[in-house]
């Protein structure tokens, strides 16, 4: 994230609260890339991620008056973006067959000892697992926070993370020879 943009974004919050279009656009410009990146890492397609980007900033425009500056501005926007991305996952029907599809394709890849790069391996994870990996390992959310956003338990988040790492390890050819 561009630190100069971030500093600028913090300074325009007061104007954004009054509905000033220039200030709202400045917020968008400051955070569009990190929001898109988060959404794209969680959602399956670029189109979904762009929709999440729009949904997030529509919510930011509507709710900036309720931002209390108790945490960082990025933290507030990131939570909105994460919720919107997870909502998108819940809405998409193809998720229902995701696990089954993954099991079948996963076995084929493991059988052929195909070594994938991390980007491709992350993309191949089931959506829920990928979301947990990204939110926990990269964005730094705790299992409790992830569970709250997903409407699940912390144990669910932990087991998703463990399964995801076990799969990544296999796909990346990182198993320890025993």
Q: Which of 5, 8, 10, 32 binds another protein (CB under 8 A)?
A: 32
Size of the chain in residues:
178
Question: CA 173, CA 45: separation in Å to the nearest integer?
Answer: 26
The answer to whether residues 85 and 127 touch, using CB atoms and an 8 Å cutoff, is no
Question: CA 83, CA 56: separation in Å to the nearest integer?
Answer: 9
- Long-range interactions of 69-72: CB distance < 8 A, separation 24+: 69/13
Angle CA 43–48–49, to nearest 5: 70
CB of 60 to another protein, least distance (A): 9
Using the rule CB under 8 A, is 45 a contact of another protein? no
Q: Which of 50, 99, 102, 145 binds another protein (CB under 8 A)?
A: 50
Using the rule CB under 8 A, is 141 a contact of another protein? no
Q: Contact residues for another protein (CB under 8 A)? A: 18-21, 24-25, 28-29, 32-34, 36-37, 40-41, 46, 49-50, 53-54, 57-58, 61-62, 118-119, 122, 133-134, 137-138, 143, 158-159, 161-163, 165-166, 168-169, 172, 174, 176, 178
């Amino acid at each position: 994230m561009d630190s100069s943009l971030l500093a600028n974004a913090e300074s325009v919050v007061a104007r954004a609260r009054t509905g000033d279009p220039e200030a709202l656009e400045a917020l968008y410009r400051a955070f569009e890339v990190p929001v898109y990146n988060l959404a794209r890492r969680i959602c399956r397609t670029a189109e979904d991620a762009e929709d999440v980007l729009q949904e997030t900033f529509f919510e930011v425009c509507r709710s900036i008056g309720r931002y209390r500056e108790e945490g960082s501005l990025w933290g507030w926007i990131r939570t909105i973006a994460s919720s919107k991305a997870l909502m998108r996952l819940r809405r998409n029907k193809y998720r229902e067959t995701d696990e089954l599809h993954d099991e079948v394709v996963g076995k084929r890849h493991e059988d052929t000892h195909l070594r994938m790069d991390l980007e491709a391996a992350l993309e191949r994870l089931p959506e829920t697992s990928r979301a947990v990996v990204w939110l926990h390992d990269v964005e730094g959310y705790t299992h409790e926070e992830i569970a709250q956003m997903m409407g699940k338990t912390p144990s669910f988040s932990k087991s998703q993370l463990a399964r995801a790492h076990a799969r990544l390890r296999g796909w990346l050819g990182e198993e320890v020879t025993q």
